[in-house]
Structure 1
């Protein structure tokens, strides 16, 4: 049954996604200020390549260590309360970076920012999935990735446009403050209230999200039935052994591998370095900004298309195009670094990495960007969702750390070309995994998804 009034759900999803905007600003912080950091423009702290690698990657460590605790926090104080708590370390992290007088303090600030960003990656998708009606759950689920891309673009633009890194960091510090003010006025998840036995509050929450003309009784009964069924089960240790939970775990964790090992964070953190290596005539800062705009526009289009085309087709197209894009970048570096062409010849194919990087970002935004986060909130059975989603997010950020921290080391050891050929092979294999393993979840209820995973 459709309420006919979607605006309150869209508004709540947008408000919680401002937290994802903050996460994106943390991820993209180094993308357009790499040279400035090397030149000591952050409080006169000069950084070499290794220290720059730590500045870019240590935020993923903070995100990693907080994901599992955030799952328990979501159950203790609610999805809304957990999201508001997540804004605190994000704010403190930016403040620490703002006044840092030692590189170690910068790393500490980045870790705190990662704690906040990683927390949003757990509570944000969970909140959105629980406030949404099935027919728009996919669209609202893409908002999280959309706002991450907007946050990355924010860092791209302000990192270049601000007259100093200090002012740029002040702008970043304002994001968690804005989030806390805006999201404080949104309702708590009705599912959380029902789980805590607060039916009156759940009714008010649903009425606000669906409209006063909507008969909430059927939806409340469905939520209660799911909770009752969960209580009848023997607990997490037994539930995780079911066929549905095992298959959901394999799918979600494998999708996280594909999302990170396709090379996205290598491209995001070191976009400017790649364009410099390509010898682009366009100012590298502008290349980064244009790339950010492309990512936002494509992710916005996916918000509309995901309920039209479905998850599986978008994932397969995404993996195929990313494999092609990575191969193009790898091919350029083969000609450039292995002396297969003279300087003029290399310049003549300088378009390859530029097109490749743009195609890569477009393809990632189509599928491998938003869908792995959606999958964690969509396909885990209710009795294991909180813990397994947290574990999947932790695993994701650990992989992100490996890629962000060691990409430059790997590229220096085996060559940029081989590195991107590896990314291409990984992305290409994702086509077959999606085709044969992942179920389509478009417009399906949680009960239907679990039944399909069970093979019913």
Structure 2
């Protein structure tokens, strides 16, 4: 009888917590039935990554919408197509015409369009800044709830906007939530996942981001901008409802000394028959290895944390300086040079479908192939594709006949998108959650995400200047050089983290 009672001790009772007698905490080890269920881990990750869907809809929203709410040339203007007409106005080479009669309540000038596009990046940078501290103060789940509110308010502001000012406000708010979820979602996922599926779950953020982008490309080509915005509003509403059923992460609860709640969280996530006592002990060991209350200075003074931060920021740098935005910008002219008659919206949908399919493929491969090999494959192929695109534009701009090889840049774009989606698209987000101990994770992830958005801003703002001053060919060669540097860096400096525990990863980062 004594042995039986000892076997049925809960995690909290072992810590002399007589108030915790929840039968859900019992580990049925006496029957030898110890197994975990991965279903709820996937459910929890998918719910949290609805924030990534919301971010994807926000990022892609301007693509189908700006043309609907912007000043258009008068009917007698001779322009090749609407895209070229807008480009002429944006470059300031012709006076801005009077708006055509329209039922739309908004008619944005070229300058206003720029602000609508760029305010999201500014908001995302500022939103990422405090999120790590908030997540350490109130928990990952409650942080997601709080930072979901700007998503909802932003879409309401956009839907009912009757002036550019309300659009600015909505885009800034939506940027705050986007930046926040870039921090809290990977953090939450990395703290609930078993080691065996940590890679797969870690890629869900990028996968659901591309799903949100594809949703806007598809729906935005068929409905008005107000209808599209209304549909986008439902994503954060569903996210809020989903967050109500999710538990807090066991790591955060243990960090706050709530051992019984941490065990209940594990039972919810890993299944009734998991060995919660052993899992809790592993997490506790990692917490004991970390400092109790590490500050931002500890992030730089601790060798392992400092190395992890350098790796995370460099991976984000290479992600953005892969030229992904440049390639997407040139998708339409490249399709046209290959003899395609597809319009811009169809080209965008094709790119979106490729991204979704290949990011899904990455989620299936990443725990089999590993992070390092996929990064090497991604940067190597992208570097080659970018170099070929540079050569193509060099020949085209110098007046050579490139009609016979119009298929070559099209092939390069497709290969580029495929390899980006299986490597530098999802893996930097995944590894960002793997490389830090709980004491510095919130701060480190926030700094990494801020660095990412800073790179987004730099590349986006400088791209047009590079094209004008250096030419398309040199611009693509610059990005190709960055990817070649990424290949060398990953090959020489990065170790594989697939299947490794937090303590094993820290041993590598600390040079042991």
CA distance in 1, matches of 2:228, 2:293: 51
Corresponding residue for residue 381 of structure 1: 437
CA distance in 2, matches of 1:2, 1:239: 37
5+ residue gaps, structure 2, are: 1-32, 73-101
Corresponding residue for residue 173 of structure 2: 112
| 1:160 paired residue among 221, 239, 246 | 221
Corresponding residue for residue 38 of structure 2: 6
Report how many aligned residue pairs link the two structures: 450
How far the C-alpha of 1:239 sits from its partner, in A, is 5.3
Corresponding residue for residue 480 of structure 2: 424
Corresponding residue for residue 407 of structure 1: 463
Q: Which has the higher contact order (CA 8 A, sep 6+)?
A: 1
> Under a length normalisation based on structure 2, what TM-score does the superposition of the two structures give?
0.83
CA distance in 2, matches of 1:76, 1:238: 18
SS in 1 for 2:49: helix
Are the equivalent residues in 2 in contact too, given 1:30–1:269 (CA < 8 A)?
A: no
CA distance in 1, matches of 2:263, 2:461: 47
Q: 1:159 to 1:235 in 2, by over 3 A?
A: closer
Give the root-mean-square deviation of aligned CA atoms.
Answer: 2.3
> Under a length normalisation based on structure 1, what TM-score does the superposition of the two structures give?
0.92
Corresponding residue for residue 92 of structure 1: 153
Q: 1:70 to 1:303 in 2, by over 3 A?
A: same
1:68 equivalenced with 2:129 (yes/no): yes
Q: 1:87 to 1:233 in 2, by over 3 A?
A: closer
Corresponding residue for residue 371 of structure 1: 427
Q: 1:209 to 1:35 in 2, by over 3 A?
A: same
SS in 1 for 2:215: helix
5+ residue gaps, structure 1, are: none
1:44 equivalenced with 2:106 (yes/no): yes
Q: 1:93 to 1:331 in 2, by over 3 A?
A: farther
Corresponding residue for residue 92 of structure 2: none
Relative to structure 2, which stretch is displaced further, 91-100 or 417-426?
A: 91-100
Q: 1:380 to 1:257 in 2, by over 3 A?
A: same
Q: 1:67 to 1:274 in 2, by over 3 A?
A: farther
> Counterparts in 2 of 1:291-330, with a 5 A limit?
291-330=351-390
How far the C-alpha of 1:387 sits from its partner, in A, is 0.6
Are the equivalent residues in 1 in contact too, given 2:251–2:438 (CA < 8 A)?
A: no
CA distance in 2, matches of 1:234, 1:123: 18
CA distance in 2, matches of 1:67, 1:91: 18
How far the C-alpha of 1:99 sits from its partner, in A, is 2.6
SS in 2 for 1:240: helix
Which entry has the higher C-alpha Rg, 1 or 2? 2
Are the equivalent residues in 1 in contact too, given 2:199–2:367 (CA < 8 A)?
A: yes
How far the C-alpha of 1:234 sits from its partner, in A, is 7.0
CA distance in 1, matches of 2:332, 2:155: 23
CA distance in 2, matches of 1:77, 1:271: 43
Corresponding residue for residue 203 of structure 2: 142
Relative to structure 2, which stretch is displaced further, 153-162 or 50-59?
A: 50-59
| 2:506 paired residue among 444, 450, 455 | 450
CA distance in 2, matches of 1:272, 1:200: 56
Q: 1:282 to 1:359 in 2, by over 3 A?
A: same
CA distance in 1, matches of 2:333, 2:421: 21
